[in-house]
A and B are shown apart, each in its own frame.
Chain A
């Protein structure tokens, strides 16, 4: 298998953006290529739902055309909110196999055109039809998990809010983040109730943004050492545990095996905190902490920028924003910056980093390990 390295990475500022999705992808592409003309063997475009969010299909061709990459093979990958990491994964395979030598990965979503109610309806289609027909939304399913976790592990509502407080703090240090403002526990507890006990500030935002990453068979300073991917039952009601996610556990196990690493080897991680409860559960499922101990790790600052297991230095989905298709690749960009010591004020000491991206309601998850070399 050919070794695969990361060359350039680029990202746009996330948030409500006026530009079209292809313009945002072009902006990320210019950052990643440092505006140097380059040729690519193929383009992999991670985007969950351009058909409904922006009204375009055949998006892979649209992007190749827009970027002026005439005749370059281009394919769009939809893997729900794990589209960004899935595009990265497929691009990785294409280089690892020896078929291609240098490929471009793009990922993005533009979600802010419609009001939140319509965006929520589009996102709810990720949920199993029976469950969706009860009225269940993504926040509703996250609330069910939160309630059970609070019951089983004595997590308090105030403690849960600390996940958002921490990630908003990190977001203040990230110029690309949608939210660059500190928030307090009080702000969270005063925000609008969405699905009890989850409030507005417990949920990642509707956002626009794009990212670009170049993968190559030529050696650089960052190597992709392992990718693991796993699915779970579509329905929450089919699953055994309500406080832990098997798709994360299995994907992580597969990634660690590929990279010949263990949870203790990971210096920094970007995890999919679409809801505050996930900032606590994901690190447990990734093997960083025992079940129920994710709360103490958060409170004691172990997962903060000065802790021994910094999580979401970028601000995570909570503060960076969550343009669904872009998120997985935004995590990759952040870890690459951390490994290259280009993360500015949010820099942590790191040689080995991990990204954890969730598709659907935690049922199509990808874990990627990147290392300095």
Chain B
């Protein structure tokens, strides 16, 4: 899982050139795929080109960066649920650990 870090302390998910907090160059590092659900929604009214429903989660990654992504299973929609980020066709998904 790629995250970008800055000397100012800001850490954000994925690759990013300039820090959104201070404008300095960020350094992109690889971390593990562990994630924990901070909040979630099931989206029923989706934009054109998407299929309803969409399970969306906002998760916390290692070192505190956050990522918005789809959730594979409806059963994993729970605040505090632990799991991993998996990448399929260049898209990120949250998958809960086996209970």
Contacts and interface: CB of A to CB of B under 8 A. Distances in A.
Q: Please classify the interface of chain B as helix (H, G, I), strand (E, B), loop, or mixed, using the class held by over half of its residues.
A: strand
Interface string A124-148: 1000001110111101100111011
Interface residues of B, number: 28
B42 A237 contact: no
Contact of B39 (A124, A139, A147): A147
B66 A237 contact: yes
Contacts, number: 95
A264 interface: no
Nearest to A193: B44
B38 A236 contact: no
A213 B44 CA distance: 39
Contacts of A235: 12, 20, 68
Given A124-B47, A147-B40, A194-B44, A136 B12 contact: no
A148 B79 contact: yes
B41 A131 contact: no
B46 A144 contact: no
A238 interface: yes
Among A124, A136, A147, A194, max chain B CB count under 10 A is at A136
B20 to A, nearest CB: 5
A195 interface: yes
A134 B45 contact: no
Q: How large is the interface on A (under 10, 10 to 19, 20 to 34, 35 or more residues)?
A: 35 or more
Given A136-B56, A147-B79, A130 B40 contact: no
Among B46, B56, B69, max chain A CB count under 10 A is at B56
A117 B48 contact: yes
Contacts of B45: 120, 137, 139, 192, 194-195
Contacts of A153: none
Contacts of B13: 237
Given A135-B47, A136-B56, A144-B58, A238 B42 contact: no
Interface of B: 10, 12-14, 20-21, 38-48, 50, 54, 56, 58, 65-70, 79
Given A147-B41, A192-B45, A196-B43, 14 more contacts: A117-B48, A120-B47, A135-B43, A135-B50, A135-B54, A137-B45, A147-B40, A151-B39, A195-B44, A235-B68, A237-B12, A237-B58, A237-B68, A239-B66
